């Protein structure tokens, strides 16, 4: 079973946080690929592509979906092209997750 896109939300926030709350998409991809190897071990299909090898890389597509939903929830903003910036709401979510181990957005995956 494929890992749903919303499972990438906390890792995106973690990646952005390592850059003082603002990072490029390339940095986020690189950080997740290096630091969340368990995702790819659990679901090797994430490394594949849509449309039989010629489409988007599946895990990167899921990160872009996660980004869009975090934007809707007010957790990320985009001050300029290619820059992802964590908002105070995103920082609160990440801090809560670090303290409790529970994602405060659990159950809010899709609305």
The predicted model gives 73-97 an average pLDDT of: 94
Give per-residue pLDDT as tens, 52-62.
Answer: 767 788 888 88
Task: Measure CA 65 to chain center.
Answer: 8
Q: Are 84 and 28 in contact (CB under 8 A)?
A: yes
pLDDT of residue 22: 96
Q: pTM for the whole thing? A: 0.86
pLDDT of residue 5: 82
The predicted model gives 41-49 an average pLDDT of: 80
pLDDT of residue 55: 77
Q: How far apart are CA 93 and CA 78, in angstroms?
A: 18
- Which tokens belong to 38? 């368990």
- Which tokens belong to 94? 């990440």
pLDDT higher than 70, residue 76: yes
pLDDT tier at 3, thresholds 50, 70, 90 = confident
């Amino acid at each position: 079973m494929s890992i749903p896109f919303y499972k990438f939300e906390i890792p995106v926030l973690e990646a952005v946080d390592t850059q003082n709350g603002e990072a490029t998409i390339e940095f986020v991809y690189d950080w997740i690929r290096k630091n969340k190897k368990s995702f790819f071990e659990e679901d090797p299909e994430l490394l594949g592509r849509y449309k039989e090898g010629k489409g988007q890389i599946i895990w990167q597509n899921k990160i872009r979906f996660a980004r869009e939903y975090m934007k809707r929830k007010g957790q990320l903003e985009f001050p300029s092209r290619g820059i992802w910036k964590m908002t105070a709401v995103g920082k609160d979510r990440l801090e809560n997750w670090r303290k409790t181990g529970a994602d405060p957005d659990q159950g809010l995956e899709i609305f």
